[in-house]
Amino acid sequence: MIRTLDEMVDVVLSFRKKHRLAVAWAHDNNTIEAVGNAVINGLAEAVLIGHKKEIIRTCEAESIDYSIFTITESKNEITASQEAVSMVKTGEADIVMKGLVSTDKFLKAVMDKENGIMKPGAVLSYVCAVQIPSYHKLLFITDPAVIPFPDLDQKIAMAEYAIEMANTFGIEKPRVALIGASEKISRHSENSIHYAVMCKMAERGQIKNCIMDGPLDIFLACDRKSQELKQVDTPICGDADILLFPSLESCNPFYKGLMLFAGGELAGLIRGTSKPVVLMSRSEKKKSKYYCIALACLLAERNI
């Protein structure tokens, strides 16, 4: 079982094959630094797509030897995104990564019906493995980045992605806490209704490989003492592996708070695609960016 993000890196470094990143419009120092770091440490290989001159200039400014990359010329950010996606489709690369291109343009290429890499009928979402010194294990959270207000089907997909990722880390039956402000069901809270339905689906085997409960607040999900105090009968037992949030606006500040105030690190990835897609915020820590790429390699190796 992978218990920390560094253990995950070790697992990736032990792979025989080095996975290849196709980076769309790798024009900014931020992207080049992150990719360079991964390549130099032997995590992955990289193809940088964009204006060759600009890429080389940026590498020099960052004091990175550009010869460690394969550089491919492309006209603009849109064609660069399309080419990056097409490279993983043809098998020339294993992972797509976003460079200095806006998220919506980048995702348009990923989600393109004919040339994109979405799994048929899949929901596009985001799962993040978060490591915080104050919690006794990795915490997988969803969705901090893609779906603003998930409906029931989207929540089910989010849960399944997070479960699948936890499985990849060797957690066979992760404990999934469906996060709300209270543990009660209320007809005024659509989320609580969705959660009750999902719990029953998990009980009936319609959502597999997990122990699910919700609504639960974060205390009940992650703190055993709270459970004893509140006397809520939940199989999560303050030992959650996965936190599913009701909205992007609750999940995103949660993880950013952990990064900023709780010394957290993360590894996050787009889900719903047939190949791993790395999409991360520029303000992410250097180490977290490294972990994101490592996570993409792990999933590429396992082919999920």
Partner 1 sequence: MLKKLDEIRTIIANEPVKKLVLAAANDHDSLSAVLRAAKDGIVIPILVGDKEAIQNIASSYGYDISDLRIVHEPDTEKAVEIAVKMASSKQAEILMKGKVGTSTLLKSVLNREWGLRTGKLLSHFALFEVETYHKLIAVTDVAMNIAPNLQEKIAIINNSIDCLHKLGIALPKVAVLGAVEMVNENMSATLDAALLSKMNQRDQIKGCIIDGPLAFDNAVSVESARHKGIKSEVAGDTDLLLMPDIEVGNVLYKSLVFFAKAKVASVILGAAVPIVLTSRSDSEQAKYDSIMLATAVSRKQQ
Which residues would be at the binding site for partner 1 (CB under 8 A)? 152-153, 183-185, 187, 193, 195-197, 199-201, 203-206, 232-233
> By three-state DSSP, how is residue 127 classified?
strand
Q: Residue 182 CB, nearest distance to partner 1 (Å)?
A: 9
Q: Which tokens in the block code for residue 16?
A: 């025989």
H or E stretch including 182? none
Strand, helix or coil at 113?
coil
Least spacing, CB of residue 233 vs partner 1, in Å: 6
Give the DSSP letter string of 260-285: HHS--EEEEEEESBSS-EE---TTS-
Min dist. Cβ of residue 195 to partner 1 (A): 8
d(CA 125, CA 142): 8
CB-nearer residue toward partner 1: 149 or 262: 149
- Give 153 or 249: the residue with its C-beta nearer to partner 1: 153
Nearer to partner 1, 122 or 185 (CB): 185
Q: Which are the contacts of 254, defined by CB distance < 8 A and separation ≥ 6?
A: 141, 144, 218, 243, 245
Could you tell me the smallest distance in angstroms from the CB atom of residue 215 to partner 1? Answer: 9
Nearest residue (CB) to partner 1, 4 versus 226: 226
* Closest CB 217 distance from partner 1, rounded Å: 13
Strands (E), 67-219: 70-73, 95-98, 125-131, 139-142, 175-179, 211-216
**Other beta carbons within 10 Å of 61:** 10
Instruction: Write down the least CB distance from residue 143 to partner 1, Å.
Output: 20
Of 152 and 304, nearer to partner 1 (C-beta) is: 152
Q: Are 185 and 215 in contact (CB under 8 A)?
A: yes
Residue 94 or 183: the one with the smaller Cβ distance to partner 1 is 183
The DSSP secondary-structure symbol of 112 reads -
CB of 174 to partner 1, least distance (A): 19
Give the dihedral of Cα atoms 221, 222, 228, 232; nearest 10 deg.
0
Judged by CB, which is closer to partner 1: 8, or 202? Answer: 202
Residue listed under structure tokens 């992605």: 161
Residue 154: CB atoms within 10 A of its CB come to: 17
